[in-house]
Amino acid sequence: MRGARPGRTRGSCGGRTVRRLARALVVLAAAGSIGAAAPDDATGDALARVRAAGELRWGADAQGGAPYVFQDPMDPNHLIGFEVDLAAALAAELGVGARPVQGQWDMLLDLLGRGDFDVALNGIEVADEKLRVALLTRPYYVAPERLTVRRGDAAAPRTLADLRGRRVGTLPGSLAERILRRAGAEARTYDGGQNEIYADLLLGRTDAVLLDAPISLYYGEIEPALEAAPGDFGEVRYAIAVPRGEEGLRAALDDALARLAADGRLRAIYERWGLWNDATAALLAAPAGGGRGVAEALEAWRAAVGKPPPLLERLRDRYPRTLALFARGAALTLALSFTAMALAVPLGVGLALCRTYGPLPLRALAIGYIEFVRGTPLLVQLIMLYFGLPELGVTLDPFAAGAVALGLNYAAAEAENYRAGLESVPAGQLEASWALGLSTMQALRFVVGPQAVRVAIPPATNDFIALLKDSSLVSLVTLTELTKTYLNLANAMRDHLGLGLLVAAWYLAIGLPFAWLARRAEARLGRHLRSAA
């Protein structure tokens, strides 16, 4: 089980409603497109494509954290985790390399069905609802569900019966959440990484946390103020998800898992990360008992994040290592924002002109577009473009889908800015232009337009800066921009405050120059208009 969500807004009822609606739209779109494109008895050629490409693209979400897939706290330019090791071993068995593809955890199966990667390997739970949209390999790991409470809290729940009516943190869409619902608990689900769930428990905002044993080991047991309640509260199994109809690829992965289990390489991976247990031993038909190796990866994690170093040390040693990642995220954010704004500006101008000067049918169309786009969430619009258009035979790559969604959305806001600018110019100016023999287009270009632009520049600049921040939503469609980079690093390094200030500085660095240029342009245009007067 893994948890990751894009870091836009958390905790608001409106945000949760939008996300639930978005997930419902994705499920419907994926079910329709997958069912139509790949019936159960179809035989695909994904294995041949993987071998021809020389790489196995596996979808995962680095935001969720250890020990699955996460940025190395000591060298954040590298992904580590037991599933990183597993993906590399599986790819080697297939004779290819392994390439991770970032995807939001609770949408990995939808991205898989769309073809964004070959397999989903990121704590995918074996469950009936998964089998309706994907094939699952044989399980590769078994873990109990563990309940974590505050140490020494006599009132803490310690049995399933005690959970009724209590606030318990977990991850959305997980087996742990379903167990809590059945037990009558008040399940508090989190959109961010796993660290936030245990942080709320420490702060007393929840009474307990129910999550898979690997998460409990890496986040709960390293906190001296927390302890695991005795006993297991359920059992979860992980498998690799394969697109429906790709039985050949699933069979090849099953064979590879069997070989890795038979020669002990799978056990060595689990032992290195401190995850070997008797249930997994029984699953792999391996001898039970304690591990034969040293859990050096677990010890390295504890050493890296157990006690955060002083701020000066982080500024000197840790944060400089993140600059390359932040620079790549900032470059993607800027490229996406410029592309979206290049679409939004001309479309917004056209909509404003149609609404202000167009005939009645064009005015009605412009008003309908503006009200529809402004009245529906950007997240839903992005999902409709990315997951819905393939049903109509139109498949956009992630960057194009993000740019188009942002551009179409902000065109409505730009249209209202430009309409306000046009309406700020006295009607007599246009009438005087006509009297001088200018056409309407000439009047708009030489008389009305320059005056309207001065009024529209400040809100248009604000929109661009807002667009820079709204671009964080593209992490939903496998792009790792600036905000997603921060979330991945913060959950891996367990440093939300320091890295948060750092990413804020990045946003200021890329946003303030545009605000300064807009002020210069506004002042220069104002001087020009005053001199002309």
Measured between alpha carbons, how far is 344 from 407 in angstroms, rounded to an integer? 5
Looking at residue 290, its pLDDT comes to 53
Q: Kindly provide the b/e burial profile for residues 338-365, where b requires at least 16 CB atoms within 10 angstroms of the residue's own CB.
A: ebbbebbbebbbbbbbbbbebeeeeeee
Which stretches of 38-95 are DSSP H helices? 46-53, 82-94
pLDDT tens sequence for the chain (533 residues): 544 433 333 333 344 444 444 444 444 344 433 333 333 333 458 999 999 999 999 999 998 889 999 999 888 999 999 999 999 999 999 999 999 999 988 899 999 999 999 999 999 999 998 999 999 999 999 999 999 999 999 999 999 999 999 999 999 889 999 999 999 999 999 876 788 899 999 999 999 999 999 999 999 998 999 999 999 999 999 999 999 999 999 999 999 999 999 999 999 999 999 999 999 999 998 776 555 567 999 999 888 887 777 888 888 888 999 999 999 999 999 999 999 999 999 999 999 999 988 899 999 999 999 999 999 999 999 999 999 998 888 999 999 999 999 999 999 999 999 888 888 788 777 778 777 778 777 877 777 777 787 777 788 888 898 999 899 989 888 899 999 999 999 888 888 889 999 999 999 999 888 888 877 776 776 665 555 45
Looking at residue 454, its pLDDT comes to 76
């294995």: which residue's tokens? 47
Angle in degrees, CA 419, 424, 426, rounded to 5: 125
Question: Beta strand pairing status for 97-102 and 55-60?
Answer: parallel
pTM of the model: 0.82
Looking at residue 422, its pLDDT comes to 82
Q: Give the CA count within 13 Å in the CB-facing half-sphere of 202.
A: 13
Residues near 418 by beta carbon (within 8 Å), at least 6 away in sequence: 348, 349, 352, 353, 452, 456
Measured between alpha carbons, how far is 179 from 307 in angstroms, rounded to an integer? 33
* Residue 130 neighbours by CB distance under 10 Å: 16
Residue type, 155: A
Looking at residue 133, its pLDDT comes to 93
- Residue of 442, 399, 372, 325 whose CA lies nearest to 78: 325
Looking at residue 446, its pLDDT comes to 77
As given in the structure block, the two tokens for residue 410 are: 């902000």
Cβ pair 250, 137 in contact under 8 A: yes
Looking at residue 25, its pLDDT comes to 41
Cβ pair 341, 467 in contact under 8 A: yes
Residue type, 434: W
Question: Beta strand pairing status for 235-242 and 119-125?
Answer: antiparallel
In terms of Cβ atoms closer than 10 Å to its own Cβ (0-12, 13-18, 19+), residue 205 is exposed
Helix, coil or strand: residue 122: strand
Helix, coil or strand: residue 273: coil
Displacement of CA 332 from its chain's centroid (Å): 15
Show the domains of the chain with their CATH numbers.
13-142+235-307 (3.40.190.10), 156-219 (3.40.190.10), 313-532 (1.10.3720.10)
Per residue, what are the HEC states of 241-272? EECCCCHHHHHHHHHHHHHHHHCCHHHHHHHH
Looking at residue 47, its pLDDT comes to 95
* Residue 83 neighbours by CB distance under 10 Å: 27
